[in-house]
Structure 1
Amino acid sequence: MSDLDATTPRVFLARHGETEWTKNGRYTGITELDLTPEGINQVTSTAVQLVGRGRLIDPARIARVWVSPRRRTQQTFQHLFGATSCDREGNTVTLTEDIAEWDYGDYEGLRVSEIRSRRKENGLDQEMEWDIWRDGCEGGESPQLVAERLDRLIWQIREIQEPYMDGSKAVDVVLVAHGLILRAFVKRWLRYSLDTPLPMMLSPGAIGILSYRNHDVDEPGFFIGMALPSTE
């Protein structure tokens, strides 16, 4: 069986563009920040190359779009699709906390080094460094809570895509969200626990792609590379 092509439903992961806290590595959950000018450039450059009729993300093939309700992700959605409408009969764009960034609680606005120092001062992590995938956030979300809401969204996506694994109807999905929650989504898509080591990187304004192996809804996978549609 060959690798998948565009007839198999896909899930596109769109990370929001740069913010001021993205630049300096601060954990940004519920804090409302605008995209920087560079962040806008990142998203619009991605849109020019990848979004539009006949391109990788073809609005005519999109069945659903889920967007985190944070301001930076809504701005990203607008710049990503711009004048290219992703609306069509049966298509909806939904704001949902299910794909909002991890709630960092007491760690909001801090860097990893600051969090680890604070926890050790409070008598935690004396034998092992803090790891958000394992330990979660004081005053915020645990990995279990994050997994629950992502699994709820994955179930909805499978409900939409499962009847059309043969490509008889275009049912691609787009998630516009945040760096950490999208990496968490990948782990749950692959049915890994959130504390499973899986080093991943997703640049601001970047697009990731998930799908299914062998046109089988029970074989979720991810693309490590994908050929772009022909421009001819």
Structure 2
Amino acid sequence: MSRQLWLLRHGATEWALDGRHTGITDLPLLPEGEAEARALAEVLGQQHFAAVFSSPLQRARRTCELAGLGEQMQINEDIVEWNYGDYEGITTSTIRETVPKWTVWSHGCPNGEDAQQVEVRCVRAINTALAVLEAGDVALFAHGHILRALAGTWLGLGACGGQLLPLGTATVSILGWERDIRAIQRWNAPAKRVA
């Protein structure tokens, strides 16, 4: 199959720049995050998408709109960011003061989600995308950890495979196939390098 799944992380927010875990807190884009999202429009304007899905959170929706795909946007609850529970708004270094060697991938989040729960959502999101991929490429506007987990799931590594895939704000990543095997076509590319 030559169709591709485009993963688009939202632009910068205050907490993204501070390194704080931002799950369900519905933060807006910063002005520089809006500029990052607009930069995606040049790349995405050259593509045709059979479907465009976005997380319900405003930072993802606004990125989709500024990238020029707002009219096609459908909300998909499965690609909302990881629920960090008690760790919402806290940095990894602060968490490690009480839980040494903590990672979202290995320990999960008290009163939030762990990798297995996130993987269930990733499988559903992938199945939703696959249902329309035959008609054309699919775009997903979402968040750092969920998109990394989704890519790990796509590759057969499970959600925890995402720990191997760093992802910057307002970047383009493309999942596809290599000789009928699921593969990464492009990863963590700033919009200016994709064109």
| Secondary structure at the counterpart of residue 160 of structure 2 | coil
Q: Counterpart in 1 of 2:120? A: 148
- Counterparts of 1:34 and 1:94, CA distance in 2: 19
Instruction: Output the TM-score relative to the length of structure 2.
Output: 0.89
% identity of equivalent residues: 36
**1:97 has 2:77 as partner:** yes
**For 1:104-119, what aligned pairs fall within 5 Å after superposition?**
104-119=84-99
Q: Tell me the alpha carbon deviations over residues 151-190 of structure 1, each in whole angstroms, 9 at most, x when there is no partner.
A: 01112222323xx4xxxxx510000000111111100000
- Counterparts of 1:96 and 1:228, CA distance in 2: 25
Higher normalized helix content (fraction of residues):
2
Structure 2: runs of 5+ lacking an equivalent: none
User: Cα distance, 1:203 vs. partner?
Assistant: 1.5
**1:190 has 2:183 as partner:** no
- Counterparts of 2:33 and 2:161, CA distance in 1: 30
The number of aligned residues is 191
Structure 1 residues 183 and 69 mapped into 2: Cα distance closer, same or farther (>3 Å)?
same
Q: Tell me the alpha carbon deviations over residues 197-220 of structure 1, each in whole angstroms, 9 at most, x when there is no partner.
A: 752222211111111122x3xx11
User: Cα distance, 1:9 vs. partner?
Assistant: 0.4
**For 1:55-204, what aligned pairs fall within 5 Å after superposition?**
55=46, 58=47, 61-81=48-68, 87=72, 93-119=73-99, 129-161=101-133, 164=134, 170-196=135-161, 198-204=163-169
| Secondary structure at the counterpart of residue 202 of structure 1 | coil
- Counterparts of 2:75 and 2:85, CA distance in 1: 21
Q: Counterpart in 1 of 2:21? A: 27
- Counterparts of 2:79 and 2:174, CA distance in 1: 16
Structure 1: runs of 5+ lacking an equivalent: 1-6, 88-92, 120-124, 165-169
Alpha carbons 2:105, 2:163 under 8 Å: kept? no
Structure 1 residues 197 and 175 mapped into 2: Cα distance closer, same or farther (>3 Å)?
closer
Instruction: Output the TM-score relative to the length of structure 1.
Output: 0.76
Q: Tell me the alpha carbon deviations over residues 49-90 of structure 1, each in whole angstroms, 9 at most, x when there is no partner.
A: x021xx2xx1xx2111110001111111110116xx764xxx
- Counterparts of 1:65 and 1:196, CA distance in 2: 24
Structure 1 residues 73 and 197 mapped into 2: Cα distance closer, same or farther (>3 Å)?
closer
Alpha carbons 1:105, 1:140 under 8 Å: kept? yes
Higher normalized strand content (fraction of residues):
2
Q: Counterpart in 1 of 2:11? A: 17
| Secondary structure at the counterpart of residue 124 of structure 2 | helix
Alpha carbons 1:134, 1:194 under 8 Å: kept? no
Give the counterpart letter for 1:160 in structure 2: V
Which protein has the larger Cα radius of gyration, Structure 1 or Structure 2?
Answer: 1
**What is the aligned-residue RMSD (CA, Å)?**
2.2
Structure 1 residues 228 and 177 mapped into 2: Cα distance closer, same or farther (>3 Å)?
closer
